[in-house]
Chain A
Amino acid sequence: MSRVLAYPAAPQPVARRLLGFVRLLRDNGFAVGIREGEDALALADGIDLSRPHALRRGLRALLCSCRADWRRFDDLFDAFWRRRGVKRAARVAGDAGRRRMGPPRDGAADGPPGQPDRVDRGAGGDPADGHGRHQGASAAETLAVTDLRHIVDPEDLARVNALTERLAARMRYRLTRRTRVHARGRRIDLRNTIHRSIRHGGTPLDLAFRRRRQRPLRLVVILDVSGSMSLYSTFFVRFIRGVIDNFREADAFVFHTRLVPIGAVLRDRNLERAVERMALMAAGWSGGTRIGESLATFNRHHAAGVLNRRTVVMIVSDGYDTGPPERLGEQLRLVKRRARRVVWLNPMIGWQDYQPVAAGMQAALPHIDLFAPAHNLASLAALEPYLAKL
């Protein structure tokens, strides 16, 4: 054990170090506050510090709150408590290997800080660059039918955002089995009926009913940010952000050659920073679009957590997959099985003479509930009634 921990007689330095460790965890995204700091001190008080692993285990149980924390804890613990112990360096390096066993998402989520500032592929959302060439295409009254590639004016964008919000608000509720007391309804609420009958000496004159309660629909958006979609990406990032803001339950992913969860990033209040962070996450990949692979990642690591029978999965992509089409079909079938509806938005449907002949698109079609264009505002507005009905 490191020398720091061998100070049971001098609690003061230990306490300071402990609080430093709690601060380190907080800086690393652990949900620990003052209360946890106090608990950690109490724990160190009650533990025999000469037992090498007691403090590590105690702090791990106390300070971790999710699986990602659990996996990173050992590294952070070693880095903090053993940094000065040169002899222990080998041990730290050995531990690092275990972390690899985690799903790829861990690596991806840790990505932003270490990512180089390469945004040159236009993968995420660099508004000025990607759209400057199409400046001046739209007049206000034709905004709704203008291809989204051409919307660059801030006012138009504001209207797009407003529409997004309305769209999101409409989709928010659907029926569930949960009931609540209501003046009229189908089932009698015995509890409240009896309670009200007391004032009539036990005769149930005044009936209470229960009615089904509404639960919000959940939306999961999976967005293609590959090169062929780059002209639409900026817009859809804003669209997804509007959705996440408005839905209590929503999540979003982008893919390219890899799948990256962006729900947490998009909840960032600062839009500019959110777009920038996302651009950094999406940057630096190349080698075509692997829709099937990305969906496989989604199914393996994320589906259990984000899909349920109230979930609508919205995939935004042009369907050009560089992987085998069967893979896409197979993975989409799995998504379809867990979700309520699968909606595929393809900006190219809006183009003249477009036929979904891409092999990937062909394989995907049997598993799609709604295959719709998404190249302009009118086409998105047409989605509203469909989603409101669910």
Chain B
Amino acid sequence: MTPGEGKGGAGKPVPPGARSEAATGPGLDLSRDALLARLAQTGYVADPQLAMAITLMRQLQRPLLLEGDAGVGKTEVAKSLAAATGARLIRLQCYEGLDAHTVVYEWNYQHQLLAIKIREGEKISAAEKESHIFEEAYLLRRPLLEAISQDDPPVLLVDEIDRADEEFEAYLLEVLSDFQISIPELGTIRAVSIPSVILTSNATRELSDALRRRCLYHYVDYPTEDKELRIVSARMPGIEPSLAGQIVRFVQAVRREDLRKKPGIAETLDWAAALVGLGVGDLRDDPQALQHSLLCLLKTREDTQAMPLEVMERLVGKAV
């Protein structure tokens, strides 16, 4: 892409053969090890399997579907990838009732109305007026259109795809396989660069087989003790190693309890930050305060009741 091609550069047809060329942006030729190192620099501790999935996603230009419980760091993958490769992150949060106009494009009606009024006195034909108000200046780009009209390939995060309707899922599938979008008033807009697409799902709805087949797949599990410790150290460089170890072992033990909502990594980090803020240096210091601080980890009433002081002290005993 030469600079100065204009904002977004959308609307300029790119021949299909140019696709792979278009995809070579900064950081796309990273080896898996280099990718792991870059991710680690941004504070994301990835395993080799994830590095492989990301590499394949960029090589094969296919979306990557991340599944796993809430709070295990699915969204973080996209954020860190964007940070690690210097790409722009474009986020599309899904919800029930999401439709194409919210995610692809919308016309700026207020501006269009004003333009019509301003030109009322001018002696030009209706057809000219129409072609004028359907110019790109009046086009509001929503995430999907935005993602395919970037000069440098961005990271497109489609968050919680399972919350969107099946109809939207089918539409998304179409866009993601052709990387082109039709706007009746403007024509077909082809992708200037192919974005790295990351989809996340909490499995509140079963996704269609078509989408699953189209995507690469990675299941994000709760981290092992060792990995979680590395995450805590990476995210909170100032924390005492002994306290970090206690925290991680305690959370790992809490996850083995029969809880409604297991704490994720986000909760571990919250809790660690809370304990550091409270000046706790050792989990055995102040059981009362410790129990109160558990509100960072346990998010339902049942779970709080399932963790009385005795149970907590037993887990602390094992963790230190």
Chain B residues, CB < 8 A from A305: 203-206
Question: Contact mask A166-197 → B, CB, 8 Å, 1/0?
Answer: 00000000001110000000000011001000
The answer on a CB contact under 8 Å between A202 and B213 is no
The answer on a CB contact under 8 Å between B106 and A61 is no
Closest B residue, CB atoms, query A65: B212
In the assembled complex, the CB of A361 is this many whole angstroms from the nearest CB of chain B, namely 24
- In-complex Cβ contact of B56 among A36, A62, A66 (8 A): A62
Closest A residue, CB atoms, query B57: A61
Within 8 A of B (CB), among A180-226: 190-191, 194, 198-199, 201-202
A304 proximal to B (CB < 8 A): yes
B303 proximal to A (CB < 8 A): no
Chain B residues, CB < 8 A from A64: 217, 219
- Docked CA distance A54–B59 (Å): 15
B225 proximal to A (CB < 8 A): no
- Docked CA distance A155–B107 (Å): 59
Within 8 A of A (CB), among B114-169: 116-117, 120, 126, 129-130, 133, 165
Question: Contact mask B34-67 → A, CB, 8 Å, 1/0?
Answer: 0000000000000011001100100110001101
Chain A residues, CB < 8 A from B130: 198
- In-complex Cβ contact of A66 among B48, B112, B212 (8 A): B212
Within 8 A of A (CB), among B198-225: 202-206, 209, 212-213, 215-219
Closest A residue, CB atoms, query B69: A304
Chain A residues, CB < 8 A from B129: 198, 201-202
Question: Contact mask A139-167 → B, CB, 8 Å, 1/0?
Answer: 00000000000000000000000000000
Chain A residues, CB < 8 A from B101: 191
- Docked CA distance A384–B35 (Å): 58
The answer on a CB contact under 8 Å between B48 and A53 is yes
- Docked CA distance A46–B204 (Å): 36
Closest B residue, CB atoms, query A194: B109
With A53-B48, A178-B96, A191-B109 known as contacts, the answer to whether A62 contacts B213 (CB < 8 A) is no
Instruction: Summarize A's interface: helix, strand, loop or mixed.
Output: helix
B18 proximal to A (CB < 8 A): no
In the assembled complex, the CB of B307 is this many whole angstroms from the nearest CB of chain A, namely 17
In the assembled complex, the CB of B8 is this many whole angstroms from the nearest CB of chain A, namely 22
- In-complex Cβ contact of B60 among A33, A39, A65 (8 A): A39
In the assembled complex, the CB of A253 is this many whole angstroms from the nearest CB of chain B, namely 14
The answer on a CB contact under 8 Å between A61 and B52 is yes
Q: How many B residues touch A, CB cutoff 8 Å?
A: 40
A389 proximal to B (CB < 8 A): no
B241 proximal to A (CB < 8 A): no
- Docked CA distance A66–B205 (Å): 12
The answer on a CB contact under 8 Å between B217 and A178 is no
With A31-B212, A67-B219, A69-B217 known as contacts, the answer to whether A178 contacts B99 (CB < 8 A) is yes
- Docked CA distance A103–B19 (Å): 43
A7 proximal to B (CB < 8 A): no
In the assembled complex, the CB of B138 is this many whole angstroms from the nearest CB of chain A, namely 11
User: 16 A-B contacts, Cβ less than 8 Å apart?
Assistant: A35-B213, A42-B60, A43-B56, A58-B52, A58-B56, A65-B212, A66-B67, A67-B219, A70-B219, A176-B97, A178-B99, A191-B101, A198-B130, A202-B116, A202-B129, A305-B203
The list of the 10 closest CB pairs from A to B, nearest first, reads: A202-B116, A65-B212, A57-B52, A61-B53, A178-B97, A70-B219, A64-B217, A61-B216, A57-B49, A194-B109
Interface residues of A (CB under 8 A from B): 31-33, 35-36, 39, 42-43, 46, 53-54, 57-58, 60-62, 64-67, 69-70, 176-178, 190-191, 194, 198-199, 201-202, 304-305, 308
Interface residues of B (CB under 8 A from A): 48-49, 52-53, 56, 59-60, 64-65, 67, 96-97, 99, 101, 106-107, 109, 112-113, 116-117, 120, 126, 129-130, 133, 165, 202-206, 209, 212-213, 215-219
